[in-house]
Structure 1
């Protein structure tokens, strides 16, 4: 209840809260909301929000400087580039990530090639990076942009996205087979179709038995499932890039034996992006941590109701995605 007119080590002039209380309250609010932190600290929500707003610019600047210095000093820097939705299907941002350092470097407004080129022109520090490899999905825009900015970097197609194309073709075949089955078998295949997606060795013994029942419905479905399993084996067991090239061609020939439009479309995509897909075996990094970071961004956007101030929005995301750096 006291106010201080002199400056002490533990409290500033004309302040009612100690520096330790302010820092603890701000750290708690960054991971949730000002209202939640106010309830926990038994302080007015407006006071906690003011503390948070005063702390965000300094924290964001400190974190940005730290993560960029780390990226610039990295000997074999591996970048990850991926988009995340502000409004799904309408508005997107692009995130730039340091995969080796497990940090998020920056947020770009938009995902079109003009937006990416404009960012590179406005941020010369980005062009000064020397990444050994860059991981991204199969969007031509990202590959074009990275080849312009870093022509010597290895461009790697993210394993998660690549494997998604194979899963989609498997499910397309499943729907085709499903329409030809009896009502009982059709209902069973439809209700348990997710058993087809994961590798067999990750399933429980009971799930493997149910999977065998589903595969027994159609030789076509079994052949596509085995083709999907072979792709996972190729990813996991190829010892080097040269062997991976041979294994990829062998896997494509296995797919050529399957007569289905979805499989043919997937093979066309795979052959087009062959170099980027096989480059995974030159530098085994994926955007798995990036996808997890996207979940944190979505949670942040829901908590803060999509902050209208662009600079504050980006600052909040960078702090949210690099919070483990706050303790350094």
Structure 2
């Protein structure tokens, strides 16, 4: 393993130039940066991270704060595994490490974040499970710590964020069901203040308007983001009079509980109730009938989140000069059999 002095001697350039190239400084031309990075890989250069951190006041660590809500953990499924894979693929290119900071369920997320920042554990943050009014965003803006949110908030629009297209999913689901003849479409929405719920319900409302269908708050079922939440949603649907002919789920894991509850009363998705799920997840592949849902690449999402964050950091922004700061992540409808019902037989 070679140090920075040996790397500079090998390239016959100054140690300062090598250091600036390795750290992504904008005053190094692309050809020199390329030569330095290629030589570093060839010679097995390993930076003295502890010394560098002391000199630069940096940790070379990026934090990913996951939600304190137990529902967020329940709904995680493979979501964060896929996203972190994409994040790490970006950060490792710049010799940055990623640590996951799961806020305990019993702790206030605002206080948890403040403690992590006070300890100077990370150089930047990715925060998820954003609330309608999220104080963490205001705090990070005040501290000037670079950050990106995985999700939008209703209280800030001028920070970097990437969010799934919850509105688009809801409108597409309503349009598909309305085109099949459904006139009473219920929706299972979050029972928390998480912002995605507001966006999803707004898309649901617009979808109904597009289809010239009335909006009825009685058709909104509040439920947890888990299998248990889906079981609860099905139970609520069973008590409705008249029963809606279709139901849209905002969380992928809800479908498992919903299918079970329907089976208990000898009913079936795609026959007695048209069901459209949210993200196409691993567990949903084993449901029968196959769940109509929406597909996305978690790894690609993580890559985009990583690039967006680094584009806000002076040391790395030159690598991502065209990276947008606001992204609504598209999701593709994958038709299944869960939303096929014979309305004429009722």
The normalised TM-score by structure 1 is 0.29
TM-score scaled to structure 2, two decimals?
A: 0.28
Q: In proportion to residue count, which structure has more strand?
A: 2
